[in-house]
Amino acid sequence: FAAVPAMVAEGRNILRNIQRVTKLFVAKSAFAAFLILSIGLTETEYPLLPRHLTLAATLTIGIPAFFLALAPSSGPWRSPALLREVARFAIPAGTAAGLGVLSSYLFSLNVVDLPLVEARTVATTVLVVVGLYLVLALEADGRRRGAAVSGLCLALLVLYFVLLAWDSSRSFFELAIPGAWGVIAAAGGVVLAVSGLALTDERFVPQLRRRFPSGR
Boundaries of every domain in the chain: 4-211
| Model confidence at 10: pLDDT above 80 | no
Closest CA to 138 of 128, 124, 148, 126: 148
- Predicted local distance difference test score (pLDDT) of residue 50: 93
Instruction: Tell me the three state secondary structure of residue 91.
Output: helix
| Model confidence at 93: pLDDT above 60 | yes
| Model confidence at 168: pLDDT above 50 | yes
pLDDT band for 213, please (50, 70, 90 cuts).
Answer: very low
Lowest mean pLDDT among 5-9, 130-134, 156-160: 5-9
CA distance 112 to 29: 30
Closest CA to 152 of 73, 90, 72, 68: 68
pLDDT band for 67, please (50, 70, 90 cuts).
Answer: confident
The structure's pTM equals 0.85
- The residue-averaged pLDDT of 127-131 equals 95
pLDDT band for 33, please (50, 70, 90 cuts).
Answer: very high
- Predicted local distance difference test score (pLDDT) of residue 124: 96
Q: Mean pLDDT, the chain, as a whole number?
A: 84
Tell me, what DSSP letter sits at residue 76?
-
Instruction: Tell me the three state secondary structure of residue 44.
Output: coil
Residue 63 to residues 50, 96, 165, Cα–Cα distance (Å): 18, 22, 21
CA distance 55 to 124: 9
CA distance 199 to 185: 21
Please measure the distance between the N-terminal and C-terminal CA atoms of the chain and give it in whole angstroms. Answer: 30
The CATH fold of domain 4-211: Calcium-transporting ATPase, transmembrane domain (1.20.1110)
- The residue-averaged pLDDT of 185-198 equals 92
Q: In one letter, which amino acid is 57? A: A
